[in-house]
Every structure is written in C-alpha cells, then in structure tokens.
Structure 1
Amino acid sequence: MRKLVLKNDWIGKNPVIRIEFPYDFQLKEIVKQFPGCNWDTKRKVWWVAYSDERISEMIQFFKGKAWLDYSELKKVEIPQDKVSVVLPNLSAVNSKEIQLFEQWMRNKRYSENSIKTYREAISVFFRFLDNKPLEEIENSDLEKFNSEYILANSYSSSYQNQFVNAIKLFFANRKGIKINPDIIYRPKKEKVLPNVLSKEEVKKILDSITNIKHKSMIGLIYACGLRRTELLNIQLKHIDPNRKLLFIQQGKGKKDRVVPLSDKLLELLRSYYKAERPIVYLFEGEKVGAQYSASSLQQVLKYAVKKARVNKPATLHWLRHSYATHLLENGTDLRYIQELLGHNSSRTTEIYTHVSKKKISEIRSPFDDL
C-alpha cells in the first residue's frame, strides 16, 4: 500500500502538517481530496493546518487508500491567540458556482493552469467565509479575507495577486452581487532579479548528464530559452531541421513564436531521436505518445545540479534566465531577446540588463580616477 509521511512544519506563524510521498499521480489526486489540503508552490509540498484532531481525521479518510506514517509528528502547543482556523469544506451550492466559473473560463480559452489556480483561489475564499451565500458577500468580506488570511499567514505578494485576479474575474461575471472588486488593492510588486547561472555552470550541469534524453531536454531549455510547459508541449512536427527552427505553439499568453536551433543542438537532438524514436511529442513519458512528466523533468535537473556540484538551488526557469542573460552579454539586441522569449513588453526583458556581468563589469568606478 502507498505510504504518506506526516511531519511538523510552519506556514508563516501557523503550524501545519506536511504530507510527504514520492511522486505518484493517483496518490496525489487522493491527497488533493482531503478537506483543507493545500499545495505550497514554493516548497513543493502538500500540507494541512495543524490541530490535535487532524490525525484521527486523516486516518479515517485515508483508510484503505494509503498508510500513514506519523512517527515523526509531534504535538504542538499553540497559544490560544495563535490557533489556526481550519477552513470548512466547500458547500454544494458554491461548488456548483465554481464549476460554472470553470466552464466559462474554458469557453474563453483560459489555460488549464490559470483555471486550476483561479478555481483553488475562489474555493479558499468561499471556505474562509464559511460558504456565505454569494448574494450576501460584501466589500468588508474582501477586506477581512485580505487581513485575516493573506496577511495573517504572511503569504507572498504574488500569492495575494493570484487571489486578486481570481476574485475580480469571478465577481465580474456574476450579477446582483453586492461587491466592488476595485476595492481590492494590489500589493506592491517585489523587485526581484532573475537567478542566473554562468556559462561554466551550465556546461558543468550538461556534462554531468549521461542520459541522452535528459541531456536533450535540459540542453533544449537552455539553448532556446524555453519555459517548462513549452518544452513538454513540443511535438516532432514543430521542428524544422532544414531551416533550423523550432516553432513554439500557444506558449504563455496563447502566443506562437519561432526560435533558432543551433547546429550543435540539432546534432544532439538527432542522436536522441535515433536512440528513443518518439512518436508524437519530442519528449515522451513511459506511455508511448504521452507527454513527459513535469515533475520528473525538474528532478532530472535537480540531480544534474547536485552531480555537477553546482551549489545553487537551480530550477528549470533559471536556465531560461541564463539563456537571456548570456545572449545579452554576447551583444544580442534586447528587442531580439524579447521576441525570442515571447515577452509582450520590452520592460519585462529589460530586467536582464541588471544581471548581465558584462554590462556591469564595464562600468568604471570613480575610485579609479582618484
């Protein structure tokens, strides 16, 4: 039987129970159904709010589905003023409203990732309000949710923005609701520089990978500045080896774009194709014709970084940042980099000027003139 390991942890100032297990799609779907279960996108772990009653609730829920190992879980003494509120289950009425909202978003061609994010955000909002009827929700409920849930739990500004987007979109499509979404003030966006690897570090990572499929995936992300989903969505028909072009279809923002393929990369991809013979997608999983797993792809990089002894918490998106920064350092015009990355605004691309070591190193210090 599958096993779940329960451990103590904290989200902000609130104690939680971490739910750890090796990646298993079916088990993940079961865990998602446990009332009050949440996914921490930053730490990549499932969790539920801590309470003394949680263990008995989880034992009952997972009986016959998975074995719980709670040997490492310790009792937490929580001051009365710090006791976390366990959100109730979603009511049938509000669940139906969310389903209709999902249907509307699909009709509008929203991406599945956006639909999932908005659905989960609205669900948390409704549960926080104890399934208050939609027609009774007022502006004060939004303010209360922001202060007593988002800010009280020390969630990030990007996490807060997700709720802002979801709530505004949801209520914009409901009639007769006593609510003004414009009162939701967006948090000031944090100015965070992109994380970048040096060319030497990228080379060390690629050289550490012996599996031709894994090397091709990681190499292609860096060589073309791809997002993870863009790589996984590539089909054989999207590659034009004669013109040395890769066609990215329906990337972020439903945008198509074209990126060049270098001779060295094409040689690597040809070797990979001869060895693996994929049918539909360039990189397929265990099932023929099916996409490669996103979590497995991240694990490939994680293992390679460790093996290469690169002491940085590199992610797949770091490779995209590194690609853009290295292009800039090579003298590529920022307008071309914007096109290659698929950015709508040049302001998004300009952030790479702040991490380019070439541009920074060319600045002469006035100290040298003394």
Structure 2
Amino acid sequence: MKLMERVKATLRVKRYSLRTEKTYCYWIRFFIRFHRMQHPANMAGNEVRQFLEYLALERHVAAATQNQALNAIVFLYRHVLDQPLGEVGNFSRAKRPKRLPVVLSHQEVMDVFEHLSGSMLLIASLMYGSGLRVSEACRLRVKDIDFARHVITVRAGKGNKDRTTLLPPSCAQPLHTHIQIAEQQLTSRIETNAIPVSLPYALDRKYPNAGISLAWQWLFPSSKPCFDEWGRVVLHHIHTSAVQKAVKYAMRSSSLTRPGSCHSLRHSFATQLLSQGTDIRTVQELLGHKSIETTQIYTHVLGNGFAGVRSPLG
C-alpha cells in the first residue's frame, strides 16, 4: 500500500474527521515535496525542524497553521510509520498574536438577520442562539433536535466529541417546518429510487435502512447529490462555504462598523450569556471548549477582568 493510502486508512481507522484527513494529507505531501520527494522513513527530527522553520520564516504562516503542520507530521511518524520522530529541537515558531474575537450586540445580530431568510436565517439563528460552529449547524440531523427538552445534540463536534446545547424557543417552529420538508423530500426520493443520505463510518452496513429513515436526514441538505469518500452517490449536507458567504453578505449589508463572520455569531452567544451572569463553566460546556482558558477570552471582551477599576474620567 502506498504511503498516502496508509495515512488515509490510519486516519479512518482512528475516526478522524474528513476535514482533518484532508488537512493532514496536505501537510504530509507538502513536507515530502519540501524535501525533494524523500521518503519520510529516511528523515527525522532535523528535517522536520527545517520544514517548520521554512513555514514560519519564508511562508509567514500563522502559529496555528505551523502547529497544524507539526501535528500532521507527528501523526505520520507515530501512527503510520511506527517510527519515533526523535527530538525536533528548538525551531523558529510563528508568533501567535493576542487578538480579541469580534462580537456583536444583540441589536447588531438582529440587524444582520434582517438580510437573511430561509435556511440561511435558521442556521445563523442556531449559531447565535445555540453557540454552534457553522460546520456543526450544517451537520444537524432530524434526530439531533429534542423539542421536549429544548436541547440540541451536537454530534462529533471539534475533537470528535458530542455535547448538548440550548434549543432557542424562536427556532422551534422553523425547525419543525424543516423536519416536515425533510419528510416530504424523503418520501419523494423513496418513490423514485431514493439516494440515501451520507452516514458516518460503517453505519449503513449495521443499519441498512438508516440512509432512508427520517431520523438520519439532514436538516439542511445539499441541493444536489455527490460522491462520498467511498465513491457512492449520496445526499450530503449544505456546504459551510455557502453559509459563510451568505452571512458575510448580510453583515456587509447591515453596515457593521467592524468585519464579522459566522464565528462572530458564536462569539456573541458566549458574551451574551456571560453578561447575563451565566457561570463560565456552563458556557464552556455549551460551547464545547476543551479548556476553560479558551472560554475566558470572552471575559476580556466584556471588560470583566478589570476587578471593578473605573476610568478616572468618569
């Protein structure tokens, strides 16, 4: 088996997301090309250090990008080649700038929503009202909505972890409508030799009818079928880029004083909860942050880190 095929197979066995698979494969190929197609088994820590320094000093990549490349290479040596990488040693690290996230007031969010409609409005509402990432909102299935408990279950979020978060009351009726539409579309597809929805891992072998059951239907399906990673024709969810484009256009149309994005809606969810006095640990769980330190950035946005100090100007 060729090296990149082994990388993909190992990533899938360990159940990494498709997005991570594409990213890791990109950096591993880049690493090999940088060293003029040498096989990684013939290289070690010194070559890795040279590559990481090139990214920082020549390509001027962000710190997160450099770390991403390092993670991909470490995965290659540890899990695919089963070969200790050895000491990489000190290398020039890309500087991580300390920036506060862009957050919007509630009124600014409402102004943005004035320029959205249909599925795009509902997805944006879930990012703001439930704190979902854009990818998490796009991947919602019918079974993930619990109207009785007012809860949304996020499946395989960042870090491949499940969590629950709030179901905004104002989103309940639009979600009911989307489920009814999903049911009608499913009935129509079954009558015309249905194309099943894409399913995680080997679920279609364990439950052969899952792909044509209502519970597993996407709330926000793509307009056209596509090929999955095994070459089968399936119906996937709406692409995140379509949502990002719609939200950016809405933000420009609402004349915000600072540039925002889909993630700004999630940031705004966090700051609104904290300003209402919600415990930071609860906000951490709702956002799915691994570390409380990540959530604490929002206290700086609110200015709560000043211990009651007041400006002398009054």
In 2 relative to 1, CA 366–306 (structure 1 residues): closer, same or farther, beyond 3 Å?
closer
Partner of 2:8: 102
In 2 relative to 1, CA 148–344 (structure 1 residues): closer, same or farther, beyond 3 Å?
closer
Is the 1:137–1:178 Cα contact (8 Å) retained in structure 2? no
Query: For 2:242 and 2:87, how far apart are their aligned partners in 1?
Result: 39
Equivalent of 1:249 in 137, 155, 162:
155
Partner of 1:195: 102
Letter in 1 for 2:33: R
Is the 2:7–2:80 Cα contact (8 Å) retained in structure 1? no
Query: For 2:108 and 2:82, how far apart are their aligned partners in 1?
Result: 57
Query: For 1:131 and 1:197, how far apart are their aligned partners in 2?
Result: 48
In 2 relative to 1, CA 139–272 (structure 1 residues): closer, same or farther, beyond 3 Å?
closer
Indicate the structure with greater strand content: 1
1:342 partnered with 2:279: no
Partner of 1:332: 278
Deviation at 1:181, TM superposition (A): 4.9
The number of aligned residues is 273
Is the 2:138–2:240 Cα contact (8 Å) retained in structure 1? yes
- The equivalences for 1:115-134 within 5 A come to 115-134=21-40
Higher relative contact order structure (alpha carbons within 8 Å, sequence separation ≥ 6): 2
Deviations 1:80-118 (A, max 9, x none): xxxxxxxxxxxxx9xx21220121111111111111111
Letter in 1 for 2:107: E
1:205 partnered with 2:112: yes
Equivalent of 2:256 in 310, 330, 335:
310
Unpaired stretches in structure 1, ≥5 consecutive residues: 1-92
1:347 counterpart SS class: helix
Query: For 1:127 and 1:144, how far apart are their aligned partners in 2?
Result: 13
Query: For 2:26 and 2:46, how far apart are their aligned partners in 1?
Result: 21
Is the 2:155–2:163 Cα contact (8 Å) retained in structure 1? yes
Partner of 1:293: 239
In 2 relative to 1, CA 125–241 (structure 1 residues): closer, same or farther, beyond 3 Å?
same
2:26 counterpart SS class: helix
Is the 2:270–2:298 Cα contact (8 Å) retained in structure 1? yes
Deviation at 1:278, TM superposition (A): 6.0
Out of 145-154 and 177-186, give the one that drifted further. 177-186
Is the 2:248–2:262 Cα contact (8 Å) retained in structure 1? no
Is the 2:130–2:168 Cα contact (8 Å) retained in structure 1? no
Query: For 2:181 and 2:85, how far apart are their aligned partners in 1?
Result: 59
Out of 237-246 and 113-122, give the one that drifted further. 237-246
Is the 2:129–2:166 Cα contact (8 Å) retained in structure 1? no
In 2 relative to 1, CA 130–205 (structure 1 residues): closer, same or farther, beyond 3 Å?
same
- The equivalences for 1:23-102 within 5 A come to 96-102=2-8
Equivalent of 1:217 in 115, 119, 123:
123
CA RMSD after TM alignment: 2.6
Partner of 2:63: 157
In 2 relative to 1, CA 130–241 (structure 1 residues): closer, same or farther, beyond 3 Å?
same
Query: For 1:101 and 1:275, how far apart are their aligned partners in 2?
Result: 40
TM-score normalized with structure 2 length: 0.78
Query: For 2:34 and 2:312, how far apart are their aligned partners in 1?
Result: 57
In 2 relative to 1, CA 119–200 (structure 1 residues): closer, same or farther, beyond 3 Å?
same
Partner of 2:312: 367
Partner of 1:27: none
In 2 relative to 1, CA 281–184 (structure 1 residues): closer, same or farther, beyond 3 Å?
farther
Q: Give aligned-pair identity as a percent.
A: 31
Deviations 1:151-178 (A, max 9, x none): 2121111111111111112112355858
Deviation at 1:235, TM superposition (A): 0.7
Deviation at 1:328, TM superposition (A): 0.4
Letter in 1 for 2:78: A
TM-score normalized with structure 1 length: 0.67
In 2 relative to 1, CA 176–339 (structure 1 residues): closer, same or farther, beyond 3 Å?
closer
In 2 relative to 1, CA 184–98 (structure 1 residues): closer, same or farther, beyond 3 Å?
farther
Partner of 1:283: 220
Query: For 2:127 and 2:88, how far apart are their aligned partners in 1?
Result: 39
Query: For 2:143 and 2:83, how far apart are their aligned partners in 1?
Result: 48
In 2 relative to 1, CA 293–148 (structure 1 residues): closer, same or farther, beyond 3 Å?
closer
Deviations 1:288-345 (A, max 9, x none): 8531121111111022112212243211111111100111011111011011111122
Query: For 2:126 and 2:82, how far apart are their aligned partners in 1?
Result: 50
Deviations 1:165-205 (A, max 9, x none): 11112112355858425436565644332221121210100
Deviations 1:197-243 (A, max 9, x none): 1212101001222x222211111111000011111111111111122
Deviation at 1:135, TM superposition (A): 3.7
Partner of 2:196: none
